Amino acid sequence: MQKLTEKDLAEQHGIKNPKNIYYNLPIPTLYEEVIRREEGIIGQEGTLVAYTGTHTGRSPADRFIVKEPGTENDILWGPVNRGISPENFDSLHKKILEYYEGKDLFVRDLYVGAHPDYRKNVRIVNEYAWHNVFVNNLFLRPALEDLPHKTVGFTVLCAPGVKADPETDGTRSETFIILNFEKNMAIIGGTEYAGEMKKSVFSALNFLLPRKGVFPMHCSANVGEEGDVALFFGLSGTGKTTLSADPHRALIGDDEHGWFDNGVFNFEGGCYAKAIKLSAKTEPEIYNASLRFGSVLENVTIDNETKKIDFDSTEHTENTRVAYQIDSLSNIVPEGVGGIPKTIFMLTYDAFGVLPPISKLTPEQAMFYFTLGYTAKVAGTERGVDEPQATFSSCFGSPFLPRPPLFYAGMLKDKLEASGATVWLLNTGITGGPYGVGDRMPLPQTRALVKAAVDGTLDKGSFNEVEIFGLQVPTSCPGVDDKLLEPKKSWDDPSEYDTKAQELASRFEEEFAKHKA
């Protein structure tokens, strides 16, 4: 591996006069820097524990995309994709470059996109050493002989110490996350939350890959022994990571994938899982991957004497996180590539408690629910969210999708028609009543439903139609209480169920109408 020089940074990125350039440091050396700079703590089993200050989740209201002629007409502008001028971007970019002068910088060259035909070189420049460990876990790691990148496809400049001035910089607050597709760059300031780096890169891929005919998806993916690929769409907290980490199926990837003509490929080289209430009993694979040297735990509670991690504690936030390399898991697809999907799950956290735990969707219903992306924001995922709130996130990932929802829905329709994949709506939320009355869907029974859907057991059985929603629900499933399958039967007051179900169905229609307008 050759070294990246100060001249390289100046010529390629305009970064001048850094104090030291720490380029693709080995993880043990980065650990030393983290401890020396008091950025984090080494916890049990050697995991790295870090804290993100006031930002313990994403700041979607502070995310912007530069409005410029080359991409302006392709982006859905609004509260998700806020526009900012090239001049404002240039001003903040300059602030970061000036801030970097005289500072130690941790620079890392990585890949995104496991398939070589769609792979993109990424360079991350960090102010913090622990952020450099984080990105090494989340993105794909090149061989030493392939470093440094000869050309950089996308650059991320992360400088939490740089604050924006809303009056002059065109931002909402001191925090900013800005994508510039013309310059293939993201700049981040005013937040230490590491997830912003991951999501900035993948938001860029969600915009760029359709130009190559690739359908970008916010989903996890795994594959069975017969090569049958399953996808799990869903927002944070709905169970993508948990359900796809199946000991009987190899994991292709945890969160972001592309569907090309011959199959699917993982965007990333790691997993970024929620760690709240993580236990060895219910999620042994993720638990073991979390407690090992090189993994990064964010905002968890740690005993200062024993260094033991308390995964149940919400002292800092409910949105505790762990970032680990995908090869920390025992059953993965090392190449990160799989065949054409056979089974698709659309996960939803239904806070109303009226949707069945699983429903088989027609192609038309699949497009409907994909476009809606109904779920609930889970406590702690975003700042200011203290309890689940019903929400619609189109395509199960609207915070990361620059293009209009119907654009991505059209790509899904084409893929479904070509593949003949079976689609299921999976409710991992509340049953037996609304949130506060009912209970969270039991994980073992959700796992049983997924297994029966993937192996074809549900398809071979009979179905009932659920009133109001018109959903086809299996009458039975091995390992699942029949009463759970039709939620109305688990409510104490069936008439109250009808009222809540009708209320939600009406909201579905109202929301969908917005996309057709």
In which band, very low, low, confident or very high, does the pLDDT at 377 lie, cut at 50, 70 and 90? low
| Residue 387's pLDDT band (cuts 50, 70, 90) | low
Marked catalytic residue, from 131, 321, 342, 383: 321
Strand partners, 324: 271
Out of 108, 131, 218, 360, which one is annotated catalytic? Answer: 218
Q: Give residue-wise pLDDT tens across range 390-408.
A: 788 899 988 899 999 999 9
pLDDT single digits (tens) 116-134 = 999 999 999 999 999 999 9
Peptide bond into 148 cis (omega under 30): yes
Q: Is 119 annotated as catalytic?
A: no
413 in active site: no
Q: What domains can you pick out in the chain, each with its CATH number?
A: 6-42+62-212 (3.40.449.10), 215-269+335-516 (3.90.228.20), 272-325 (2.170.8.10)
Q: How far apart are CA 259 and CA 423, in angstroms?
A: 16
Share of the chain above pLDDT 90, in %: 83
Q: Residue 24 — φ and ψ, nearest 5°?
A: 40, 50
Which pLDDT belongs to residue 155?
98
Of the candidates 223, 174, 216, the residue with the CA atom closest to the CA atom of residue 199 = 216
Instruction: Say which of 47, 55, 56, 58 is annotated catalytic.
Output: 58
CB 170 within 8 A of CB 92: no
Residues 442, 429: Cα–Cα separation, whole Å: 9
Active-site annotation holder among 95, 131, 199, 274:
199
Q: What would the pLDDT profile of 313-351 be if each residue is shown by its tens digit?
A: 999 999 999 999 999 998 999 999 999 999 999 999 898
Mean pLDDT value of segment 129-151:
96
Asked whether the predicted pLDDT for residue 150 surpasses 70, the reply is: yes
Annotation marks residue 199 as catalytic: yes
pLDDT at 386: 52
Q: Is 455 a catalytic residue?
A: no
Among the options 131, 255, 290, 431, which is catalytic? 255
The pLDDT of residue 385 is above 70: no
Confidence of residue 186 (pLDDT cuts 50, 70, 90): very high
- Report residue 95's pLDDT band, with 50, 70 and 90 as the boundaries: very high
- Answering whether pTM is above 0.85, one says yes
Q: What is the pLDDT of residue 258?
A: 98
Q: What is the pLDDT of residue 191?
A: 98
Average pLDDT, the chain: 93
Higher pLDDT, 516 or 420: 420
Number of Cβ within a 10 Å radius of residue 69: 8
pLDDT of 381 above 60:
no
Q: Which tens digit of pLDDT belongs to each residue from 63-84?
A: 999 999 988 999 999 999 999 9
pLDDT digits (tens, 9 = 90+) for 200-237: 999 999 999 999 999 999 999 999 999 999 999 987 77
pLDDT digits (tens, 9 = 90+) for 251-307: 999 899 999 999 999 999 999 989 999 999 988 989 999 999 999 999 999 999 999
Residue among 59, 191, 200, 241 flagged as catalytic: 241
CA pair distance 82, 96, nearest whole angstrom = 21
The catalytic residue among 56, 155, 171, 236 is 236
Per-residue pLDDT at 271: 92
Region 187-194 average pLDDT: 98
User: At 465, is the secondary structure helix, strand, or coil?
Assistant: strand
